[in-house]
Amino acid sequence: MAASQPTYPTSYPNSQTTSNPHAYSYTHHQPPQPKYNRNLPFVRRLILALILLFVAITAVGWITWLILHPQEPVFHVDSLSVSNFNISDLQKNARYEVQLTVTNPNKKINLEFETFSVSVFYKRNPLSTGSVLRPFDVRKMNETAVKIELGSKPNENCQIRGKRTAIDMANMGRDWKQREMSLNVEMVGLAEFKASDWLSSHRTVGVFCENLVVVFGSDDTSRMTGKLKSTGGNDCCSVSLL
Provide the pLDDT for residue 82: 92
Identify whether residues 43 and 129 lie together within a single domain.
Answer: no
Q: Is the pTM of this model over 0.75?
A: no
SS3 55: helix
Residue 73 has pLDDT above 90, yes or no: yes
Provide the pLDDT for residue 143: 96
Identify whether residues 143 and 231 lie together within a single domain.
Answer: yes
SS3 30: coil
Identify whether residues 213 and 150 lie together within a single domain.
Answer: yes
SS3 68: helix
| 148 and 132 Cβ atoms separated by less than 8 Å | yes
3 located within any domain: no
Identify whether residues 51 and 101 lie together within a single domain.
Answer: no
Identify whether residues 63 and 119 lie together within a single domain.
Answer: no
| In the chain, beta strands by DSSP E | 74-85, 95-104, 110-122, 125-132, 136-138, 142-151, 180-194, 200-216, 224-228, 238-241
Expressed as residue numbers, the domain containing 235 is 70-241
Provide the pLDDT for residue 187: 95
Identify whether residues 128 and 169 lie together within a single domain.
Answer: yes
Identify whether residues 152 and 208 lie together within a single domain.
Answer: yes
Identify whether residues 192 and 204 lie together within a single domain.
Answer: yes
| 117 and 95 Cβ atoms separated by less than 8 Å | no
Identify which has the larger pLDDT, 86 or 213: 213
Count up the domains in the chain and report the number.
Answer: 2
Tell me the backbone φ, ψ of residue 156, rounded to 5 degrees: -125, -25
State the chain's maximal CA–CA distance in angstroms.
170
27 located within any domain: no
Identify whether residues 62 and 74 lie together within a single domain.
Answer: no
13 located within any domain: no
Residue 233 has pLDDT above 80, yes or no: no
Give the tens place of pLDDT for each residue, 134-158: 889 999 999 999 999 998 654 443 4
